Amino acid sequence: MTATSQVTVTSLTGDTLRVIRTFILRLLVNSAEPEALRGDLRPLPEGEAQPFPDEQALLALLHWILVETAELTGQTKEKTP
């Protein structure tokens, strides 16, 4: 599954900018625990697969990646969906 996320950020000059990130989301299913959400998330175009053991870790990982994007582009985070 490929997922795309959009982040609204505000530049240091006050302009609102949009950053679009694309990820590959691999969900792994263990037949002994089919309800458990686990897998890995790989940012595109480059990026290492980041494993997550549960839903909370997936959300934390997404938040970390999106905040990192804003920091690398010299922008401050205004809102994440």
9 residue type, one letter = V
Q: Please write the tens of the pLDDT for every residue from 27-65.
A: 998 899 988 899 999 887 778 899 999 999 999 998 887
Helix (H, G, I), strand (E, B) or coil at 81: coil
Count the domains in the chain. Answer: 1
How confident is the model over 16-31, as a mean pLDDT? 81
Q: Which domain holds residue 14?
A: 2-79
81 residue type, one letter = P
CA distances for 37 relative to 4, 24, 58, angstroms = 19, 15, 9
